[in-house]
Structure 1
Amino acid sequence: MTTPGRFFCSDAARTRGDSIVGTAPHGTAWVLIEYRGGWPVNGFDGLDLEPGTKALVFAAARAARARVLLVRCHGRHVPRGAPRWAVLRYDGTGAHRRHWGTWERDEDLARIAPALTTPGEPGGSPLVLVCAHGLHDACCAVRGRPVARALSELRPDLVWECTHVGGDRFAANVVVVPDGVYYGNLDAGSAVTVVEEHLAGRIHAEHLRGYTDLFPPQQAAVAAVLDRFGPAGRHDYAVARTFRDDDGWQIRVTGRPPGQAVVDVEVRARRTPQTRLTCRGPATSSAVVYDAVSIRPG
């Protein structure tokens, strides 16, 4: 899949066996902007938009702690009609909230700002975002685009390519929003299986990076429960208690039938040796890994 002799961070991560558990960035709101031109290396920040509108959207997204992603349909086909934008929010009840709009002039994007301060309409199917931001990191294009193609053939109404979502070394990365579920280390075949299972209400531990409403140790605890007791729906398990001690975290996960009712998980953190983690950055750094070292029915 990749070019011999050239460094690819996703190849290196697979060779090292890097853990993907607990690597989903925290957040419960997303702004999607359909942009059919070339994507700058830094995504929305790099767009040449009307300055006042761009500043307004940026400030509103920052205030709402929302992630702004550029999106597009996979392939050369250009959809009819004006490009769209969306504001999506995770709701712990499962009644996710969303706003949709269209834009033809830069100033039309100003409507994103008030959408970030109002609840939005509940319901609707989740969207499947595939990071294919090759200018940000080569692995996102090399591994992401075949996944985007396979998923677009499966569910063209739900799938978008998107800009950087984090974790380049785990490409191909898929994010289901507003469910707030990150998957990584996917290829075309595994991505189809993962997404079909997700949409059917069965989230598996394999390929799961984490849930974005949880912090990394909590993500690791839920992943461990899924690994031990089998797949479950997005809201079938909840973190009821998190206690920090000298060795790590004691996390209580509660479930609803037919899953395990109460599970206590001990999670510890460790740092990896210094290594190169991205294609673009030649500098080395270490990563934090979250290990579930004990899983006990409560």
Structure 2
Amino acid sequence: MTTPARFFCADAARLRGDPLAGTAPYGAVWILIEYRAGWPANGFDGLPLEPEVKARVHAAARAARARVLLIRRHGRGRPEEPPRWAVLRYEGDGAHRQEWGTWHDDRDLARIVDVLDAPGERGRPPVVLVCAHGLHDTCCAVRGRPVARALSDSWPELVWECTHVGGDRFAANVVVAPDGVYYGNLDATSAVAVVGEHLVDRVRADHLRGYTDLVPAQQAALAAVLRHAGPAGRHDYVVEETVRDGDRWRIRVTGRLAGLSAFEVEIHARRAQPHQLTCRGLSLSSAVYYEVASLHVG
């Protein structure tokens, strides 16, 4: 009897050619909690924390529409410093804000609730998050950890492994926060190249899933502009107008800097055939993809 080959969602997605652009989930606020023990499959919700503290953080995160991620440094070393937490906030003008702290016991995490209403500090470098949440999805560990190792070798102070960020089939996934930029289908070599360019404010269409302050169709339109016009800074283009007609969008993307053009992009949405989209999700699901029907300059 032949043993069926093990299913890996990222391998299957690459064979299907699943499009990346337009797959970044919305997000403008991130809560990061360093947790060095094993991560539960459901991340923060599964931590054995004091129930009252966890409930307060969870409620505050929902009110702020914040994503809560567990983080850790790559490798098995146990640093002497206490674990950290952070609140990262995206602002459209690029002047992002961050607030960091440490925690010794569960009650220290209640400080996150207060910080969510505080402005935060400007001027900090971005955080590079690599999904390596193996208990949530096998591909996130198999593909994410080599990427985390390569990026940590280059930028040890910026890079963290993290829990589920969405889009397991696009592993390895990297999120730069609070910039709000998702990249996918990365390996160790491409990740170093992509993050290196991002850190000098050059976003490329290759491997770009989207900007988290845009809706999926807008993400796909902006990726099309970058693919046509070349890499650009995170805030070099702005979505000026979006008109929707059913499963079609007409989106105007305008360059903010001298020498950058304006573009009219038409996007069509289509629903793919049902597939198994994650390693552990045995039911079939049908994803929506956003295709570029036309792109005109002017």
Query: Shorter-chain TM-score category?
Result: over 0.9
Partner of 2:264: 264
Q: 1:261 Cα deviation (Å)?
A: 2.8
Q: 1:118 Cα deviation (Å)?
A: 1.4
Structure 2: distance between partners of 1:110 and 1:9: 37
Q: Report the secondary structure of 1:284's partner residue.
A: coil
Moved more, 254-263 or 60-69: 254-263
Moved more, 270-279 or 240-249: 240-249
Query: Are the structure 2 counterparts of residues 259 and 30 from structure 1 closer, same or farther at C-alpha, using a change threshold of 3 Å?
Result: farther
Moved more, 244-253 or 139-148: 244-253
Q: Is the 8 A contact 1:9 1:276 kept in 2?
A: yes
Q: Is the 8 A contact 1:96 1:123 kept in 2?
A: yes
Partner of 2:291: 291
Name the amino acid aligned to 2:139.
C
Q: Report the secondary structure of 1:241's partner residue.
A: strand
Q: 1:297 Cα deviation (Å)?
A: 1.4
What do the CA deviations read for 1:68-108 (whole angstroms, capped 9, x no partner)? 00000000112221100000000111110111110010000
Q: 1:246 Cα deviation (Å)?
A: 4.0
Q: Does 1:144 align with 2:125?
A: no
Q: Does 1:77 align with 2:77?
A: yes
Superposed, 1:1-298 pairs within 5 Å as 5-246=5-246, 248-258=248-258, 260-298=260-298
Query: Are the structure 2 counterparts of residues 85 and 65 from structure 1 closer, same or farther at C-alpha, using a change threshold of 3 Å?
Result: same
Q: Is the 8 A contact 2:205 2:231 kept in 1?
A: yes
- Unpaired runs of 5+ in structure 1? none
Q: 1:258 Cα deviation (Å)?
A: 4.9
Q: 1:259 Cα deviation (Å)?
A: 5.0
After superposing on structure 2, the runs of 4+ consecutive aligned residues of structure 1 that deviate more than 3 Å are none
- Unpaired runs of 5+ in structure 2? none
Q: Report the secondary structure of 1:285's partner residue.
A: coil
Q: Is the 8 A contact 2:181 2:210 kept in 1?
A: yes
Moved more, 256-265 or 148-157: 256-265
Name the amino acid aligned to 2:51.
P
Query: Are the structure 2 counterparts of residues 32 and 253 from structure 1 closer, same or farther at C-alpha, using a change threshold of 3 Å?
Result: same
Q: 1:204 Cα deviation (Å)?
A: 0.3
Name the amino acid aligned to 2:267.
V
Structure 1: distance between partners of 2:258 and 2:5: 50
Structure 2: distance between partners of 1:72 and 1:33: 8
What do the CA deviations read for 1:181-230 (whole angstroms, capped 9, x no partner)? 00000000000000000001110000000000000000001000000000
Q: Is the 8 A contact 1:232 1:259 kept in 2?
A: no
Give the TM-score normalised by structure 2. 0.97
Q: 1:257 Cα deviation (Å)?
A: 2.8
Q: Report the secondary structure of 2:193's partner residue.
A: helix
Q: Is the 8 A contact 1:140 1:168 kept in 2?
A: yes
Q: Report the secondary structure of 1:57's partner residue.
A: helix
Structure 2: distance between partners of 1:275 and 1:192: 31
Q: Is the 8 A contact 2:236 2:255 kept in 1?
A: yes
Q: Report the secondary structure of 1:210's partner residue.
A: strand
What do the CA deviations read for 1:42-75 (whole angstroms, capped 9, x no partner)? 0000001001100000000000000000000000
Overall identity of the aligned pairs, in %: 69
Q: 1:5 Cα deviation (Å)?
A: 1.7
